[in-house]
Amino acid sequence: MNIILAGVGGQGLVMTTQIICEVASRAGADVKSNDVVGLSQRGGKVWGSVKYGKVIHSPNIEKGTADILMALEPLEGLRWQSFLKAEGQVLLNCSEIYPVFAIAEKQPYPHDYETRFRADLHLKAHDALKSCEALGSSKMVNVFLLGMLAKCLDIEPDLWKEVISDYVPSKLVDLNLQAFDQGYLI
């Protein structure tokens, strides 16, 4: 399984990548990951990758070979769609966060992003930020999307919940598990 993660700094991509890796490892897979790279300051673009399977030799995902793109921000999702293979899956948080370059360079933000994804991709878009705010915190969008991701993969939800519980602060475990469950229902 080849997974690309894309977003902006401050969205928890590092922890999200670590959780995916840990879940796949506990499920018995060989796992390789690229560190989340980019301008990790709040608002800068960041990305990472996770590959898992029977035997994985490299964490690198070539263009056109990713199975899933987990995009925590729409514009970053558009930027990384070329890495998806035909019939690939896009899991998209559709709350817009203007990346630094869009603000600094005064580039227009494409609000019609859903129509800009390739026609051969399967798009699941949801305003995860709005759902998380309704639960009581805007800081769980990444875990909400992990719920969406878990539904696409052949790994039991209980294993995801176990790993999430190990990674998030103990006082926020219940809230994060609620976000995961809501994402899983999308």
State pLDDT tens for residues 85-128. 999 999 999 987 765 555 555 566 677 878 899 999 999 999 99
pLDDT at 95: 82
**Average pLDDT for 32-39:** 77
Domains of the chain in start order, with CATH, are 2-184 (3.40.920.10)
Number of H helices, E strands in the chain: 8, 6
| Phi and psi, residue 97, nearest 5° | -125, 115
pLDDT at 37: 66
In DSSP terms, 52 is beta-bridged to 31
pLDDT at 99: 59
pLDDT at 113: 79
Confidence of residue 15 (pLDDT cuts 50, 70, 90): very high
State pLDDT tens for residues 116-161. 999 999 999 999 999 999 999 999 999 999 999 999 999 999 999 9
